[in-house]
Amino acid sequence: MTNRRMLGTLLMASLAMVFGTPALPQAYPARAVTIVVPFPAGGSPDVLTRIIAEKVSANWGVPVVVEARPGAGGSIGAAHVARSPADGYTLLLATLSHVTNPGLTAGKSTWHPADDFSGIVELVNAPVVALVPASLPVRTLKEFVEYAKQRPGQLNYLMPGVGTSMHLNTEMLRLSSGIELQPIAYKGVPPGMPDLLTGRLAFAMSPMSVARGHVASGSLRALAVASPTRVKDLPDVPTFAEAGFPDAQVVSWYALVAPSKTPAAVRQRLNEEFTKALADPGVRDRLAQAGAMISDRSTPEQVDTMLKQQTVRWEQALKKIKIDKE
């Protein structure tokens, strides 16, 4: 090969590398990826995200940083990510509050849960369970509804925070069944457990991690789980749908999203890596111990569809539920 031909070949190869570069650079991720969790450090969203992020980081060899940005029921963290560059380096852990917050803030939200974000992968569902004190003379959710109807406005329930899945699950049960329950506010579920155990509270929705020991000891009775399917820890306890109240079921989900306009190739790469981490037996065991179930919505497109559907559902539902807007 002559020097001129060799030079021409090298030039063509260089041009191909420059102009033929795919949307996803081979170097991605070239630096740390940050997942913003819009809730306090140490809570379930933070803990579950760290379990998964640790495995992705180990697989990649690039740090995956979990950053807690709590405040305003998740709005502060969501607003930060919505304003971030759409380059795949700043992501958001979206939960149920992501689609309920705009409807609970009296039009003050600066971001839209579906329009300002693009889906990556739904990570887990975190089932919550309907509980009553063992002293209450009911054994099924239908029996509890009948019991409450005979005592309108006389029964209290544990309300661990406005707009939480536990709060909305109870409100949807109230709405769909026609019962009247009085909310008693607590800063989370654990602080309200003593009052549930003594019978001051007649009803509560609780994360599995909090409920498990009390149900096993017999001090509390599980009536139904808010989950697409029955949970391993409570195989004899029906889902809300199985118990006869499908419209009351509020599934607590955790999904990974990015700012809108994040390139599809970047989202697909992230999807593949997080899906790989979720398939790891060690990760699955740790998530199960924390009370989480791997989700079956695994593609970016499925997450986008879910966000749109959930946004519409809660826009309509919150108009019917009497909740004071912030």
One domain, residues 108 and 69 = yes
- The reply to whether 232 falls in a domain is yes
- The reply to whether 9 falls in a domain is no
One domain, residues 235 and 134 = yes
One domain, residues 113 and 61 = yes
- The reply to whether 15 falls in a domain is no
pLDDT tens for residues 166-211? 899 999 999 999 999 999 998 888 899 999 999 999 999 998 888 9
One domain, residues 44 and 144 = no
One domain, residues 113 and 49 = yes
pLDDT tens for residues 209-226? 889 899 999 999 999 999
Residue 294 has pLDDT above 80, yes or no: yes
Q: What's the CATH code of the domain at 257?
A: 3.40.190.150
One domain, residues 153 and 293 = no
Inter-residue contact 160 to 207 (CB < 8 Å): no
Residue 9 has pLDDT above 50, yes or no: no
- The reply to whether 24 falls in a domain is no
One domain, residues 106 and 134 = no
CA torsion, ordered 180, 312, 261, 50, to nearest 10 deg: 30
Among residues 248, 271, 300, which one ends one of the domains? 248
Among residues 248, 263, 285, which one ends one of the domains? 248
One domain, residues 115 and 142 = no
Range of the domain at 199: 128-248
- The reply to whether 293 falls in a domain is yes
- The reply to whether 223 falls in a domain is yes
One domain, residues 243 and 277 = no
Q: What's the CATH code of the domain at 240?
A: 3.40.190.10
- The reply to whether 314 falls in a domain is yes
Q: Rg of the Cα trace of the chain?
A: 23
Helix/strand/coil for 257: strand
One domain, residues 137 and 193 = yes
pTM score: 0.80
The pLDDT of residue 311 is 92
**Tokens found for residue 144:** 């509890």
How many distinct structural domains can be found in the chain? 2
Inter-residue contact 241 to 225 (CB < 8 Å): no
pLDDT tens for residues 221-273? 999 999 988 998 899 999 999 999 998 988 889 999 999 999 999 999 999 99
Among residues 225, 248, 271, which one ends one of the domains? 248
One domain, residues 282 and 228 = no
One domain, residues 137 and 216 = yes
For residue 2, name the pLDDT band (cuts at 50, 70, 90).
Answer: very low
- The reply to whether 28 falls in a domain is no
Distance of CA 47 to the CA centre of its chain: 12
